[in-house]
Structure 1
Amino acid sequence: MKAFLFPGQGSQKIGMGTELAAASSHAREVFEEVDDALGQKLFAIMREGPDDALTLTENAQPAIMANAIATLRVLEREFGVPTAQRAGCVAGHSLGEYTALCAAGAFPLAASARLLKLRGAAMQEAVPVGVGAMAALLGADLEAAAALAEAAAGGQVCEIANDNDPGQVVLSGHTPAIERAIANAKEYGIKRGVRLPVSAPFHCSLMQPAAERMAEALAETPPAALSLPLYANVTAAQVTDPRKVRDLLVRQVTGRVRWRESVLAMVEDGAERFVEIGGKVLAPMVSRTAPDARTASLVTMADLETYAKEHA
């Protein structure tokens, strides 16, 4: 079984999608539809910057989704690799879960863009700039990270946001607590803690106001039936019921991204090949979690052509 994977925030960069748009009308149509849905020239920001505009959460989230769906559309329509026939399941990291649901037909492209624009804005507005922070713990397992987070909290919020792979866990919470965690990481057998360049503390309880806004938005724009099962971030388990998907998307705003466990669950259910669409972040995590799994990252036209030839 193949799993199609979709990256999350941090995978954006200036120039993303430019080659695809130059080579394929199908990619251009995706970027144009997203621009129309949002009423802004998002693809111009993706193509030319400035960098601070692209990294703004409310722009980065729909931009990453648009780039991945454009890549998928080119794979499907230029190279004849239909998602529903070639993949056995989908999964996405954080905002990538919306991309995965778009790929599985649960959300139209325009709705996905609008939901992610709102999600990005809501997450940014939930906590004043400077109040919250995030840190990556390198060389950390989940047990050590949990112990460090508990000790560093000191009455504030310090929680595990992402369990990415066997050697990388991300913490999120109040800035002083995150700084304490970084300072004390080695005492817990963790190689080091690195503060992440983000403007808000994602995937922790401080995001509750954003979760409430997403609950309202998803009530108005609920997911439809899925053509492929989704492995959900907050449960690391397969889901196909649109009503459960909606609830899980709300929980995801404040909940832990259980990516390592999701990969292991997909492997246990028969996934042997993991294909990252529109990024090169998740495939290395998969390799560290499941060394025997085969991975591919599809970003450029050359990547797509090579993949299509191998799987013709």
Structure 2
Amino acid sequence: MFEFPVLVGDIGGTNARFALVMERGAQPRPLSHEPTGGHPDPSSAIRTALAKGLEAIGAPPPRSAVLAIAGRVDGPEIQLTNAPWLVSPKRIAADFGLVSAVVVNDYVPVAAGAAGIRPTDLTPVGPRLDPPPEPPAGARVVLGPGTGFGAAALIPYGDHCAIVSTEAGHTDLGPVGRDEERIWRVLERSEGRITVETMLSGPGLARLHAALRHLRTGEEAERIDPAAVTEAGLNASDPHAAEALALFGRLLGRVCGNLALTFLATGGVYIGGGIAPRILKVLQEGDFRAAFEDKDPFAAMMKAIPTSVITVEDPAFNGLAALAGEGERFVYHASAWRAEGATG
């Protein structure tokens, strides 16, 4: 239970987005987007967001906070995986006079939001039906390639939903077929490994492009900006970029299928992150679904599992608002601090 208004934040390795939930059931009201690298710590970013946004929306200061961070929530201070920030709910509560502060993995609210996501907030990857059907019952998986790779599962138990955070991005990813084996041989490793995140992230897309250029031309190739790879691949100005996007889509389909099998996600797979909405055409027209369904002896089951890209802006905000207002519905792991005697 939280005292309102509740500050909600989606903190990643590149951007930190903040909003305010005024009361139970209310929609989050955006405050600002802050560059993670532009602030020395989370309190600096929050202070700037509140200074920019509170007066603009005519709101009082927050009483509580729920913050989602791209990192493993494993203690009272949480280290972001792809940024130098340490996030402490107790310190943030002290800095802003809050009665409670909760920190969760960044895919916990995306999973919470998937519990009530509307078909209009999704773009299917695979068979299209008009009007789009309601998602089927069963566990759901949410995931997303961005600065890193995050994933979580939403598992219904009666009237409650358990949210299972994962570190799926740090599992190993191997090649399928001889052409992929050749690519794997020239791929730049991350700490000596090729993991899901090594490939399915912004830096991963740049790695794929550099490896393919080296393999196809024999030239040594350095990584270029992932946004440049995406643009060049989509407008066909660079054949290696186009090939990298196609391979990225196939690998994403394979990993989505692996996670769907792991959690028996008959309720669907929902893809967030910053990259997927930009490459919808690649996912819809390429090998994404074929790789997703190529899971014999369960190919028939996989064909029935819907896959969609979350196209609503800031999808974590709706989930954070759900955690703030419907906290009793969800079971999830968090690092929390509450003032003694707090009643919210």
From the two aligned structures, give the one with the greater strand fraction.
2
Query: Normalising by structure 1, what TM-score?
Result: 0.31
Query: Normalising by structure 2, what TM-score?
Result: 0.29
Q: Rg bigger for which structure?
A: 2
From the two aligned structures, give the one with the greater helix fraction.
1
